[in-house]
Amino acid sequence: MIGKIKKFFAEVIVELKKVSWSTKQELKNAAWLIFVSTAFLIVFIATTDFMLSKIVGVLIN
């Protein structure tokens, strides 16, 4: 059982060495892209919600 566990972790280390890790700058750029996209989506949803609630309010009254 111990041998299987050791083999598993040895294989995990080998596979992790094959991974193409992002650079610090790539991670920063991706984080900013996500931040800007999320902010845009928040503004879009809030504006749409506000406009639709006003339209529905006018139609009901």
Q: What does the block give as tokens for 1? A: 């059982």
What is the reported pLDDT for 37?
98
Mean pLDDT in each 10-residue stretch from start to end of the chain (61 residues)? Answer: 92 94 95 98 98 95 80
What is the reported pLDDT for 2?
86
What is the reported pLDDT for 61?
80
